[in-house]
Chains A and B, each alone.
Chain A
Amino acid sequence: MIELDGVGRSFTLRRKKGWLRGETRVVHAVRDLSFQVAAGEFVGYLGPNGAGKSTTIKMLTGILAPTSGHIEVAGLDPSRRRTALARRIGVVFGQRTTLWWDLPLKDSFHLIRLLYKVDREEHRKRLAELCEVLELGAFLDKPVRQLSLGQRVRGDIAAALLHDPLVLVLDEPTIGLDVVSKAAVRDFLRTLNAERGTTVLLTTHDLGDIERLCRRVMLIDHGSLAFDGTVEDLKATAPDETSIEDVVTRLYTRQARL
């Protein structure tokens, strides 16, 4: 479902140094990254801040083109076939909404129906379903800017699933949520993956997400893959640590020292 082969992405930064003079610096956000995710998998994508998680997600969705390597998602090259891929993929950014700030939530859903050209009846059914499990009913008429973070993230998740995508990628969907909202989001994602077979890839700093949701964990650091395996494998890398927090802390700091 997701295939990366030697993918790299660098950014050239220009710093002005007086008139006409400048200094360029190249940041390698992702380098030589290769992995595969099969249909129906639930994968956690971990890494410290600045590791290149968001950059990877943006390349998977076609927002950014890779500077090297090859990507295929749901059978398509994201940067070349971005609009075709959009119908097969759903995206959630926990840090900012993809909804329309000033419009009531239900108008955002209406715009999405128009953008994806979802059949009216099908849309109505799917929306009713999502409203029920994500408990959106109470704030459908509120403008997005008035929603609480938990409500907004649930709205964003519903919006990403209205067109019934094959793959769902989420960039820190549980960031800043209270325990109740977190549990609601996790339950929903688990059911979605188990019952609809939707492939899910999520980035997170919350190890609870990993323990409760992901069968497979990938750890990225400084743009390259540092670990790829099951949660048990991850724990086995540091047998003398008892909690997964400590295991990951050790991995992060070991990477930093290298």
Chain B
Amino acid sequence: MARTYVLLAVTWTRAAAQYPLSMALLTVGSFIVTGLDMAAIAVIFAHTTSLGGFTLPEVMFLYGTSGMSFALADMLFGNVDKLSQHVRAGTFDSMLIRPVSPFIQMAVDRFTFQRLGRTAQAATVLAIALAHLHVPWQRAWMIPLMVLCGIVLFTAIWTLGGAIQFLLTDAPDVANAFTYGGGQLTQYPLTVYGSDLVRTVTFIVPLAFVNWQPGLFILGRPDPFGLPYWLRFLAPVAALALACVAGLAWRAGLRRYRSTGS
């Protein structure tokens, strides 16, 4: 499956490489747009020394890890919420006659490395943050695991958004509210939001496990909301649980697929 994905991605990239200028412009463009996010944080710190009780390098750390998870998930699987477009165009029928899961085919459809601009930007911010934070390796091991769980969480939300469209063919924006919303939300320390919202994103839509709970562990911080300590190790559980829910929803949706009358 992963091999098929990579082979298809290479083919799409090669096809896009026939227009190298537009590819370069898009990469630079996405780097600049996301750079403006960072500028917003810089502006905040020009007037104060902390944001929600966190120092600039700590905020950059949260921003960088959330950004990496989001950008990688978006690049690899962000397309799966385009389901209703594919249904209407009839391309979903075409995917169903191939011996590869339509989920993979949709995810890799028109794959480009263009979104790597966002990943690179987030990785740069993270590198700068880590250079200032001196996280000991006893806690730093959590960083790659956290980014991976974040990718799984965002992918699961996109998948849920896609699965919903099997039933409601005109509701593609539901998913975006959660993924892009979630991507924005987790850029900042959750302390800037109210505690009700934090409880929601901890226990219901488990976005707090993208970078907040494991991030508190890595930064060696007590939980400002007084939630139990063991929650910070629960990111893999949350990611796995949401992935299972998303997978089941997708399969249930696929069984109800009704194509279009020609």
> Which residues of A are interface residues toward B (Cβ below 8 A)?
11, 54, 58, 61-65, 82-84, 86-87, 89, 91, 93, 95-98, 102-103, 107, 110-112, 114-117, 171
Contacts and interface: CB of A to CB of B under 8 A. Distances in A.
B195 interface: no
B111 to A, nearest CB: 11
A226 to B, nearest CB: 20
Nearest to A65: B255
A113 B11 CA distance: 11
B96 A114 contact: no
B257 A114 contact: no
Listed from nearest, the 6 A-B pairs whose CB atoms lie closest are A86-B99, A98-B94, A63-B96, A114-B7, A83-B99, A91-B97
Interface residues of B, number: 21
B260 to A, nearest CB: 10
Contact of B4 (A58, A110, A114): A114
17 contacts: A11-B258, A54-B261, A58-B259, A61-B96, A63-B259, A82-B96, A83-B100, A86-B98, A89-B97, A107-B11, A107-B15, A111-B11, A114-B7, A115-B8, A115-B105, A117-B4, A117-B99
Contacts of B258: 11, 64
A103 B97 contact: no
A86 B10 CA distance: 23
B11 A110 contact: yes
A196 B4 CA distance: 29
B158 to A, nearest CB: 22
Nearest to A92: B97
B257 to A, nearest CB: 7
Interface in B81-124: 90, 93-94, 96-101, 105
A110 to B, nearest CB: 6
Contacts, number: 62
Given A11-B258, A62-B96, A93-B93, 5 more contacts: A58-B93, A83-B98, A95-B262, A115-B99, A115-B100
Contacts of B261: 11, 54
Given A65-B255, A103-B15, A98 B99 contact: no
Contacts of A87: 99
Contacts of B101: 83
B8 A64 contact: no
A96 B260 CA distance: 12
A63 B7 CA distance: 25
Given A54-B262, A64-B258, A96-B90, A111 B99 contact: no
A91 B8 CA distance: 21
A131 to B, nearest CB: 19
Contacts of A84: 99
Nearest to B97: A91
Contacts of A62: 96-97
B255 to A, nearest CB: 6
Nearest to B110: A102
Contacts of B99: 83-84, 86-87, 115-117
A62 B101 CA distance: 13
B15 A86 contact: no
Interface in B126-175: none
Contacts of B96: 61-63, 82
Contacts of B4: 114-115, 117
Nearest to A9: B258
A98 B96 CA distance: 10
A114 B262 contact: no
A91 B259 CA distance: 15
A64 B90 CA distance: 13
Nearest to A83: B99
Q: Which of A58, A86, A91, A110 neighbours the largest number of chain B CB atoms within 10 Å of its CB?
A: A58
A114 B97 contact: no
B48 to A, nearest CB: 48
A93 B259 CA distance: 14
Contacts of A96: 90
A102 B100 CA distance: 21
A111 B8 contact: yes
A110 B7 CA distance: 10
Contacts of A114: 4, 7-8, 11
Nearest to A61: B97
B40 to A, nearest CB: 36
B172 to A, nearest CB: 19
A63 B15 contact: no
Contacts of B15: 102-103, 107
